[in-house]
Structure 1
Amino acid sequence: MTADAAHRTANARIMMTGSGAPETRLVSCRDPRPVPGRGKVVVQVEAAGVSYAEVQMLRRLHPFPPRFPFVPGYDLVGRIVAAGSDVTRWRVGDRVAAMPRHGAWQEYVETSAKTLAAVPEHLDAAVAVALVTNGVTSHEMLHRLAALGPGDTALVHGASGGVGTLLTQLAVHHGVRVLGTASPAKHDAVRALGAEPLDYRTPDLPSAVRELVPGGVQAVFDHIGGRGLDAGWAMLADGGTLVSFDSSVAGYRPGQWFRPHVPALRRTAVRWAARTFKLTSGRRQCMYYVKPGAGFDAALAALFRLVDEGVLSPRIAARHPLDDAAGAVRALLDGTTVGKHVLIP
């Protein structure tokens, strides 16, 4: 086989080889291009997202992590280049989004045809992939779990992040007053989204929120977990909703893969029981975990329309080449940027 032919049949990928620093544990390699099995397709990746899920996996602090070594990458946008048997809905050439949870950080990805969603031809790939996990999470939490509308007030933790920027824009578009936590250096960016910024390090954040909204907020969206959920609960108005959609892994030792998420599960269960006995003034706490399905597809299609209408503008922090995956993760860890980091194979 000639060098040119070998290159055409090769697949560049990023492997996570173990727990540690991204600079040493994210390794570039080349393997044969995958061939689709029954019910699967091969997608040539145009853009893949970088998220805190990869940070958690790198520290062995993600629930139900794959075994090392593996290809990370939670979500992707690309084009089908091969289809296996029993694939009837999709054809070669279709532009699609997928959320395999790991495996997206490569040029060609074999994935199930059942979990694909259509992507408009004209949409920028980085913008589209920013909507796959982060956008659907924001849409579902705002509309399905919290059911907020005009005149309501919400607190969005991490309003400058991948989920936070989209959730804030969506809420503001629907007439919701948003208080958004972020570091002071990002307050101007939070204001530009239409929110009122708060320093997440404020010593008594519930009191600061109550000064702005004496009756409490209708919803708190929390990606911190732990005791942060107690602060969020204290901010809620009667009948309000606290949504937990992730947990911070700060302070946990590598390998304690499920422990960061136990406090959120425990608090959710206790407050569910208390609400059952009408002891919470109508307040409730719930957890959100994004998953494929009809609701996912409908939410993603709605988000694409909002981008076309100019309502939604996903913030792309940076576009990194695939072999700079370590740099993308490091930028995410440094916390100095606003929006979504994206890999472009």
Structure 2
Amino acid sequence: MKRVVVERFGGPEVLRVVNDDKPRPGPGEACVRVLAAGVSLTDAQLRAGTYLGVPRPPFTPGYELVGVVDELGPGCRRLRTGDRVAALTAYGAYAEYVCVPESEVVEVPADLDPAEVVGLVLTYGTAYQMLHRLAKVRSGESLLVHGAAGRVGVAVLELGALAGVRLYGTAAAADLDAVERLGAVAIDYRNEDFLARVRELTGDGVDVVLDGIGGPTSLRSFRALRPGGRLVVYGHYAMLERGRASWRRWAAGWAEWYGTTAAVSLWGLLDPRRRVMAYRIQRLRDSRQWLPMAGRRPARLVGGGPRNPEWFREDLAVLIELLRADKVHPVVAERLPLSEARRAHELLAQSAAKGKIVLVP
């Protein structure tokens, strides 16, 4: 089979397609023939070596896939050969065949476009879980999302509208109309003070803020909450510069992220009427890997415990049904063969805002 390998940390040029033996599934694993593998900024961070938990090169990137079960290992009882499935892999999906634990895949209807379904796995999965697993939004509440015109932002707006939430979103001037078409009040983050604008529009702030920017923005996002509000921090400053690792920005970005996160958490401890939470989709697959960083319960670290892939399966199943009902609309910007993985990463900066880039082995 063919797979893409990161030979060393660096820019898109470090991606190379190699021939390798087809993997055989171990106990409890399914070998999946990949139909579509999503390309994301997270993959670029893995390639550059700036993502937390990145494996040492050589490794195969690829955070998400949709494929067909080709072979089952001993002990598999739920799946059958020929089933179409989706999986969140973290890395390894840029390949013709991938082995994944049977417990962590979700069945996918065969009549859906694999490239559209793979757009649900990470992007819409992140949005859905932040809304419903962490923030637990309710109909009639108000929500502010930063970067509302980005892929996660668009997913938040679509899912938030379905949940009956009043929506506000920050975006660049060129994207304000697109944000408004999705049913949100758009705020020009370059020319408007989003905190002042939110207070002007709502009177006492919003119930939920989803902050994928981090840094000083998180402090101001916390101040935008009304009593009983929840802040979910799920990102930090980009640590890539022209597709490569910027160690200066990496060091400065993490120092600033941890510093401001600590400050926001302290504010949450001092003001128990508001809660602060951190989100990573990999951690949320384990029900005991996250707790509110501050708020009504004290901030603490939790490790170990059984994984909880049921949440991931349940949530992706909901999203698949919404796709079938034409209620969510993951956009595919580019479909490229596996051999053009380098070009896919080169296109990330200009095409990602237009939709999902997908590798089709």
Give the TM-score normalised by structure 1. Answer: 0.88
Report the equivalent of 1:187.
176
| 2:354 match: secondary structure | coil
> What does the per-residue CA deviation read over 1:32-73, in whole Å, with 9 as the maximum and x for residues that have no partner?
221222222210111111112112123221001111121100
Contact 1:71 1:104 in 2 (8 A): yes
SS in 2 for 1:47: strand
Of 324, 328, 333 in structure 2, the residue corresponding to residue 308 of structure 1 is 324
| Distance apart, 1:19 and its partner CA | 2.6
Shift in Å at residue 255 of structure 1? Answer: 9.1
* Residue 234 of structure 1: how far off its partner (Å): 2.0
Q: Which moved more, 1:261-270 or 1:116-125?
A: 261-270
Coordinate RMSD, CA, aligned: 2.3
Aligned: 1:105 with 2:97: no
Once the 2 structures are TM-superposed, how far is the Cα of residue 267 of structure 1 from its aligned partner? 4.8
2:349 is matched with which residue? 333
Q: Which residue of 2 aligns with 1:19?
A: 9
Counterpart-to-counterpart distance in 1, 2:334 and 2:351: 13
Does residue 51 of structure 1 match 2:40?
Answer: yes
Output the CA distance in 1 between the equivalents of 2:148 and 2:90. Answer: 23
Q: Which residue of 2 aligns with 1:154?
A: 143
AA matched with 2:7: T
Residues 263-319 of structure 1 deviation map (CA, whole Å, 9 limit, x = unaligned): 55555555555545xx32611110112144111111111111112222211122222
Structure 2 residue aligned with 1:201: 190
1:131 maps to a residue whose letter is L
Partner amino acid, structure 1, of 2:128: H
What runs of 5+ residues in structure 2 fail to find an aligned partner?
286-308
Query: 1:104-253, aligned counterparts within 5 Å?
Result: 104-202=93-191, 204-250=193-239, 253=246
> Partners of 1:150 and 1:35 in 2: how far apart?
47
Aligned twin of 1:5: none
**Partner residue in 2 for 1:323:** 339
For 1:260 and 1:115, locate their aligned partners in 2 and report how far apart those are by CA, in whole Å.
32
Check 1:65–1:336 CA distance in 2 against 1; reply closer, same or farther (3 A cut): closer
Distance 1:257 1:93 in 2: 43
Secondary structure, aligned partner of 1:32? coil
For structure 1, the 5+ residue unaligned runs are 1-10
Amino acid at match of 1:17: E
1:64·1:257 contact (CA, 8 Å) conserved in 2? no
Match of 1:4 in 2: none
Deviates more, 1:327-336 or 1:55-64: 327-336
Q: How many residues align?
A: 332
Deviation at 1:328, TM superposition (A): 2.3
CA distance in 1, matches of 2:352, 2:60: 26
Q: Distance in 1 between matches of 2:85 and 2:73?
A: 16
Identity of aligned residues (%): 37
Q: What CA distance in whole angstroms lies between the structure 2 residues aligned with 1:100 and 1:311?
A: 26
2:251, 2:131 → 1: CA distance? 26
Contact 2:218 2:261 in 1 (8 A): no
What CA distance in whole angstroms lies between the structure 1 residues aligned with 2:355 and 2:168? 17
2-structure distance, mates of 1:203, 1:61:
32
Contact 1:218 1:237 in 2 (8 A): yes
Residue identity matched to 2:246: R
Structure 1's 270 and 50: CA in aligned 2 closer, same or farther, altered over 3 A?
A: same
Deviation at 1:81, TM superposition (A): 0.4
